[in-house]
Chain A
Amino acid sequence: MMATETARQENSYQEAFRALQETQSDPHVSWLARLRENAMARFEELGFPSVKDEEWKYTNVAPIARAAFAPRLVAAAAGSSDAEKLASFSVVEAETSQLVFVNGLLRDDLSALTALPREVVALDLSQAIADERYSEIVRRHLAREADYVAHGFIALNTAFISGGAFVYIPQGVVLTTPIHLLFISEGNQTASFPRVLVVAEANCSATLIESYVSTHDDTYFTNAVVEIVLEEGARLEHYKVQRESAEAFHVATTVADLGANSSYDSTAITFGAALSRHDINVTMDHEGAECWVDGLYLVTSTQHTDTHSVIDHRKPHCTSHQLYKGILDGKSRAVFNGKIFVRHDAQKTDAMQTNKNLLLSNEARVDTKPQLEILADDVKCAHGAAVGQIDEDELFYLETRGLHYDLARNLLTYGFAEEVIGKIKIESIRAQLDEAVLNRLNARLEA
């Protein structure tokens, strides 16, 4: 019974896959067709991960395998995305430096890039591949760090690479305007496969916002893969804001490859989706790199969210900081699995990892597993995890200042989230998230 179900689902992806291969058989990009072919073949072998897989022990993706999600291979017609809603998804600081995708496919009519200097490229991925100025760069980096051979979801995403975003910041460019990649999902039962490649050349500096939203409370599946390459001395601030529909499934992989003395500052915010999973893997294979891999997940009702991170220290003198905070209400469930590897050569590594969870209900549950594997001997590493409830002393203190019990609780919860939200340097996102946290808490507090 199980087997036939699974087979049927794979067939439905295969059908769309064949259609994609037929419509996009440009001989100039035969390497891409081959890549997709290999990835699809690999996906057919791997299938979706099961809970028997250690990395998926607490997250059951059988509902994704069972559902009849179908990818859209042609961008929706202009006007089908609610313009008013779109405005509410925009980030003021990036209104003229945004690429808007509907169901994973770029919509030129909703995008605007006038704020970007000419040398900075933010382009549809398939256009970049077809453009001889960029095709070589794309080919060199695409699917190099995101390993489709080992991971089913990455394989499926890779099989459906067509649209997506290519972001290229040339050497030495200091970009003050953030680039916003806005992924909107529309319609029930759609599957979308956002694919992003960011190449930041030596000593450049940029900010990237990646957000996921939906126009309606639809049931759909987002399977995103973001590959980031930072060359020597490059600096990237990266915000991932996941506010999918409460019925959605969101699986995303972020891989970042850090050059010497580069700096990668990532903040992942998770509010949405019935089931979400984020894998973030940072590889530090050159000396002197530094990264921040932070996040906040705030879930309620029966939401399930899972974060798996790998920070791989391979070379000396690299520093990593990680702070993930979780707020769980209702019967929600969260998983945090953070691995830090300090390889043999990675002397003078400084690695710090913290995962703190706040349970607002007795029925919420979190499984947290920070893991540290150290093979070098001259390193400074610390990690810890905590699961707790609202602090009674803090609560009493606020009550003695006249705050009702509920308000005091909400204020403390908000304060807990602030440690992550407060580090966000883009004001409108910070304000939006503050508001979202407070809405979730049914509180009304302004700064």
Chain B
Amino acid sequence: MLEIKNLYAGIDGNEILKGINLTVRKGEIHAIMGPNGSGKSTLAKVLSGHPAYQVTKGEVLYEGKSLLEMPPDERAREGVFMAFQYPIEVPGVSNAQFLRLAYNEKRKHLGEEELDPLEFKDLLRERAKVVEMDASFMSRSVNEGFSGGEKKRNEILQMAVLEPRLAILDETDSGLDIDALRIVAGGVNQLHNSENAVILVTHYQRLLDYIVPQFVHVLANGRIAKEGGKELALELEQKGYDWLKTTAPENGVVGAQTN
């Protein structure tokens, strides 16, 4: 589904990603971990097409097509979704209005019939159950005045409506209390199936207790320093990121891909 090949990228002339290689197949859940500044959020932003980041080398294939050549909106319509670490507030636009618009843009792209407001309302009510959101959130402006936890749930609601094939969750666990974390993780688990894939970008192992990845990749200094199964996250939790410095090769050269 996704193939990242020798990806170099940065912002304002600073190189942050220095040769990332990663393959994600449908049905898989991958966790990307790493200390602050290791490049994990940059990777998420590059995959979603953030205009501030420049790719200097390498390529990314999504379903065999060059992802980097698509503008962000086309990536989304093709089924790539990113849950933001800091979801943006959009004053004056209701959640329901925004979600229907986004949903119909995707339907149009796929050559399907658009849903009218009433049809969409039913769909939205159904999908909102995934993150236990009540109807009052639908008439409020997108993320405006939402608590940190509500914003993250709203991200997963968008994911539930848009049904991406590839979902990238950027630090979705940050700032969540345990109840909100359980709801958000529960939502992701409900949405995950054998036809789609999830990339979890996270600093802490905590999220991975709830959403269990098959593969864990640890970034350090813009490269994948270590890879393994879910037990790698636990090992990291015990030993801390400093442990990488002693075990990872200095230049971060990684051998075979995990999959």
Residues of A that sit less than 8 Å from B by CB: 392-394, 396-405, 407-408, 411-412, 414-419, 422, 445-447
* A399 x B71 contact (CB < 8 A): yes
Tell me which residues across on chain B come within 8 A of A414, comparing CB atoms. Answer: 92-93
Number of B positions contacting A (CB below 8 A): 33
Judge if B208 is at the interface, Cβ distance under 8 Å.
Answer: no
Nearest opposing residue in chain A for B105, CB measure = A402
Task: Return A3 CB to nearest CB of chain B, in Å.
Answer: 50
Q: Say whether, besides A397-B84, A402-B162, A403-B73, A416 and B51 are in contact (CB < 8 Å).
A: no
In this complex, which of A396, A399, A401, A405 has the most chain B Cβ atoms within 10 angstroms of its Cβ? A401
* B98 x A412 contact (CB < 8 A): no
Judge if B228 is at the interface, Cβ distance under 8 Å.
Answer: no
Q: Say whether, besides A402-B106, A402-B162, A445-B101, A396 and B50 are in contact (CB < 8 Å).
A: yes
* B93 x A411 contact (CB < 8 A): yes
Residues of B that sit less than 8 Å from A by CB: 48-51, 71-73, 75-77, 81-82, 84, 87-94, 96-98, 101-102, 105-106, 109, 117, 141, 158, 162
Task: Return B42 CB to nearest CB of chain A, in Å.
Answer: 15
CA distance A417 to B141 in the complex (A): 13
Q: Say whether, besides A411-B101, A415-B141, A396 and B90 are in contact (CB < 8 Å).
A: no
Contact for B90 among A394, A404, A422, A447, CB less than 8 A: A394
Q: Enumerate 7 A-B pairs (CB-CB under 8 Å) in ascending A order.
A: A396-B51, A400-B73, A400-B81, A404-B105, A419-B91, A445-B101, A447-B117
Tell me which residues across on chain B come within 8 A of A405, comparing CB atoms. Answer: 71, 73
* A416 x B106 contact (CB < 8 A): no
CA distance A258 to B201 in the complex (A): 58
Task: Return B114 CB to nearest CB of chain A, in Å.
Answer: 11
Tell me which residues across on chain A come within 8 A of B101, comparing CB atoms. Answer: 403, 407, 411, 445
* B88 x A402 contact (CB < 8 A): no
CA distance A408 to B98 in the complex (A): 10
* A422 x B92 contact (CB < 8 A): yes
CA distance A422 to B248 in the complex (A): 57
Tell me which residues across on chain B come within 8 A of A416, comparing CB atoms. Answer: 91-92
Contact for B102 among A401, A412, A415, A417, CB less than 8 A: A401
In this complex, which of B51, B94, B97 has the most chain A Cβ atoms within 10 angstroms of its Cβ? B97
CA distance A414 to B50 in the complex (A): 23
Tell me which residues across on chain B come within 8 A of A397, comparing CB atoms. Answer: 84, 87-88, 90
Tell me which residues across on chain A come within 8 A of B117, comparing CB atoms. Answer: 446-447
CA distance A208 to B42 in the complex (A): 54
* B91 x A418 contact (CB < 8 A): yes
Tell me which residues across on chain A come within 8 A of B109, comparing CB atoms. Answer: 402
In this complex, which of B82, B87, B102 has the most chain A Cβ atoms within 10 angstroms of its Cβ? B102
Tell me which residues across on chain B come within 8 A of A402, comparing CB atoms. Answer: 73, 76-77, 102, 105-106, 109, 162
